[in-house]
Amino acid sequence: MSHVAQSKGRAGFIAGFLVAPLALYLTFVIWPYVQTFGYSFTNWSGQSPTFDFVGLDNYASLLKDEVFRGALGHNLLLLVFVPVITILLALFFAFMVNAGGRSGAGGVRGVGGSRVYKIVYFFPQVLSLAILAVLFGAIYRSDEGGLLNGFLTQLGLIDAEHPVEWLNEPDLVLWCLLFVVVWHGVGFYLVLFSAAMQSVPKDIYEAALLDGAGRAQTFFRVTLPLLWDSVQTSAVYLGIAAMDMFVLVSTMTSQQFGGGPDHHSEVMSTVLMRNFLYFGKSGYACAMGVVMLALTMILSIITLRATRRERIEF
Amino acid sequence: MGSTGEGLGRRDLIKRSAALGLITVPTMSFLSACASGGEESTKGPDKGAVTKENPFGVAKGGKLDVVVFKGGFGDDYAKAWEAAFDKKWGTTSSHLGTQEITAKLQPRFNGGNPPDVVDDSGAQQIKLDVLAKGDQLADLTAVLDAPSLDDPTKKVRDTLVEGAYEQGLQGGKFVVLKYVYAVFGFWYSGKLFKEKGWAPPKTWDEFLAVCTKAKEAGIGGLAHQGKFPYYINVVIMDLIAKKGGLEAMKAIDNLEPNAFEGNPAALAAVEAVYEVVEKGLLMPGTNGLTHTESQTAWNQYKAAFIPSGSWLENEQLKQTPEDFDMKFLPMPLLADSKLPFEAIRAGVDEPFIVPEKAANKAAGMEFLRSMLSREWSTIFAQQANSLTVVKDGVDPGVKLRPGTQSAVEALKAAGSNTFSYRYPDWYSEMDTEIQNASNELMAQRIQPKEWIKRAQAAVDKAAKDPNAKNNKRS
């Protein structure tokens, strides 16, 4: 058998394995998107097979929909803060755990007890978002039974008669949710960055140490450039998470599918779900879905482009 | 569709053979029993002779397939019913209590082998209008026209509370039996009130006075399920209905331009509720609590009153202290109210259906008829701690839990003075917007006048809904 035929046979063999997953992907991922796109031009109610074509009406009303625009604003705010805060914290902790220890010249290692930290930091990632929602629901509880309120009352910082209604305060609710996402994410990205750091050859660090680099210099000149690929990927992932936020907002805040008080924690996905399932405006909700898809894709491309750098090989 | 046509033809055939069995001598029942036996293999319905006691012709010794939603009411009541049914009719019933109604039943509806009775409720219910449009629901008019089990001179329909019929209609046909009857108002602990020497208030001023006394005693006045402003909306809306009369309620349901704006009853109601907030008579933190959190706090004597429907007692069964003595209180009156103090909001829910393609439709219908008897209604009240759509449907000699008992008494005292808003079912968007405004009001972020403005804006917006033309009440 010639080489060509052999490779053809191999290609066929591989393609054979790919057909089924590809078909599944087309049926369950691509096709629904196409359908959503189609439905977004109709006034489909979601409960009946009949609907009319309404052209771009849904998109036109979307532009005027204050609730949706507010939700978009919240998503963008999260989009900036969630990745930045999470990555910075994760990088800092990962560096401290892996290379932050001050030891003798030759040794590059983490601060004391770093093994324990690594495990502890990873804990939040093990919990599902649904559990987190319950957990933080108890922390943010609006009466004295809440962990935060109880704590602050004990310290005498707030009056027991007027506890802080964390998730019912328009100015606080989004930041409370942001904290949960960051708390949840840091551990995972810490482990991710740790793994990347460990693949950096020790001699590079040793060389830096010998040249008299301090912790900060080591981090910015050595660690960060070598980790750039991981940071980039993390930014895209966290960006997508910030565009979603559905589980936390819908379970932790007031209103049907969350978003309360008075739309102050609304994100696009909660507005979408409410219109889709509760208001019977499914065509309109599909238009929101299309907008979300477009935004997420644009953002991913921008993130990847903006963070593109020369790859460093080692 | 060929298969459907075939099925109908087969059913017709069996109906005819049953009718034949009726007009011929009783010995023929032997033959029809054979026929039904033969039908077993082709999954046709069993059929017995139709008599006055057996208006749908339930066959002795048949099978009955019941699926109920196992939610807030549990499913013990259904098991008790099935036992009673089997005993009377010699049937063998199979029972399924589940929360996954759609997952369990959709394939069966599509496959043409649905159960005989379904309690199609909960978050995963199959939408009733979808089932109705697909001709999956049996017409239950025959059940309404059948003689009542309690009094054969009466038809079943004459034993139902108001609203049970209207709310069971789909496309003008009665296909859904909404079985649970809920009354709405405030709830309090009989024990706490006795201890403190407080009298249940009849006017809003008395209500505020009790709240103030509670506050002095270190207890919150009013608790509400802040995370779900649905509940505080009940208070506001019912105050409007009681002060402004049924016209005020209908103006809201019919989306009139002066439903809220320029309606003195509406402003008075909102101001009354706001007074509770302003005077600091809310239970601290209640605005951010879920229904279970706030209700449990109330069960722990942290507040005097809480608004809710009559499902409250069953919902809180585990959290309620043994000697709590739960009591129902109709919404206290504002000055110059048009409706009496006894008037209460009452609504029906928990939809029971008999599928059109049920294997034992006759038994399904008979099951519903039995549900509308006093005996079964009492079983429900005892097992699920809730009222049913059967008028005076609970045996007075039976001991109920205190909350249910007081709801029964309040309902009796109300007589025909019950009312029910329709807008939450008709315009969910408007409902949501008013709920948002109420949440802001309770958190003191807006004033009553602003609430009125926002509520009217929601009404005006809903008036543009294409459904607004069809949804009118008089």
pLDDT truncated to tens, each residue of chain B (474 aa)? Answer: 333 333 334 444 444 444 444 443 333 333 333 333 333 333 445 577 788 889 999 988 889 999 999 987 889 999 999 999 999 999 999 999 998 888 888 889 888 899 999 999 887 788 787 788 778 899 999 999 999 999 999 999 999 988 889 888 888 889 999 999 999 999 999 999 999 999 999 999 999 999 999 999 999 999 999 999 999 999 999 999 999 999 999 999 999 999 999 999 999 999 999 999 999 999 999 999 999 999 999 999 999 999 999 999 998 999 999 999 999 999 999 999 999 999 999 999 899 999 999 999 999 999 999 999 999 999 999 999 999 999 888 888 888 999 999 999 999 999 889 999 989 888 889 999 999 999 999 999 999 999 999 999 999 999 998 778 878 887
- Sequence letter at residue A280: G
Asked if B285 is an interface residue toward chain A (Cβ–Cβ < 8 A), one would say yes
Across residues A110-121, what is the average pLDDT? 77
* pLDDT per position as a tens digit, A242-256: 888 999 999 999 988
Look at residue B1 in the predicted model and tell me its pLDDT: 32
The residue type of B200 is P
The chain A residues in contact with chain B (CB within 8 A) are: 47-48, 137, 140-146, 149, 160-163, 165-168, 170, 254-256, 260-263, 274, 278-280
Which residues on B lie below 8 Å from A279 (Cβ)? 428-429, 432
Q: Contacts by B412-418 with C-beta closer than 8 Å and gap 24+? A: B413/B342, B414/B183, B414/B330, B414/B342, B414/B343, B414/B344, B414/B346, B415/B342, B416/B162, B417/B339, B417/B340, B417/B342, B417/B343, B417/B344, B418/B161, B418/B162, B418/B163, B418/B183, B418/B343, B418/B344, B418/B345, B418/B346
Closest A-chain CA to B127: A47
Q: By C-alpha distance, which of B50, B117, B40, B36 is closest to B77? A: B117
Average pLDDT over every residue of A40-51: 79
A180-190 CB burial, b ≥16 within 10 A, e <16: bbbebbbbbbb
Task: Identify which of A160, A163, A254 has the shortest CB distance to residue B227.
Answer: A254
- What are the phi and psi torsion angles at B337 (to 5°)? -80, 145
Residue in A with minimal Cα distance to B281? A161
A267, A296, A255: which is closest to A78 by C-alpha?
A267
Q: What count of Cα atoms within 13 Å lies in the side-chain half-sphere of residue B331?
A: 35
Give the residue on A whose Cα is nearest the Cα of B429: A279
Q: Are A205 and A213 in contact (CB under 8 A)?
A: no
Contact between B226 and A256 using a beta-carbon 8 Å cutoff: no
d(CA A132, CA A252): 10
Q: Do B297 and A145 touch (CB under 8 A)?
A: yes
Q: Which residue of A has its CA nearest to B428?
A: A279
Please give the Cα distance from A309 to A229 (Å, whole number): 9
Q: Which of B284, B436, B443 sits opposite A143 (nearest CB)?
A: B284
Number of alpha carbons in the 13 Å side-chain half-sphere of residue A105: 4
Using omega within 30 degrees of 0 as the cis cutoff, is the peptide bond preceding B284 cis? no
CA B353 to chain centre: 14
**Inter-chain CB proximity B439 and A149 less than 8 Å:** no
Which residues is B418 bridged to in the sheet?
A: B344
- CB contact under 8 Å between A254 and B226, yes or no, is yes
CA distance B207 to chain A (A): 21
Contacts of B283 in chain A (CB under 8 A): 143
Gap between the Cα atoms of A97 and A111, Å rounded: 6
B104, two tokens? 């369990």
> In the predicted model, what is the mean pLDDT of residues A121-146?
89
Residues of chain A with C-beta less than 8 angstroms from the C-beta of B445: 170, 261-262
What is the number of other CB atoms lying within 10 angstroms of the CB of residue A165? 25
Query: Residue A313 has what pLDDT?
Result: 62
Cβ atoms of A30 and A21 within 8 Å: the answer is no
Please name the member of A161, A170, A260 whose beta carbon is closest to the beta carbon of B284.
Answer: A161
Amino acid at B33: A
Cβ separation A143–B288 shorter than 8 A: yes
The residue type of B259 is A
> For residues A193 and A232, what is the distance between their CA atoms, to the nearest angstrom?
11
Structure tokens given for B100 = 């996954």
- Three-class SS state of A246: helix
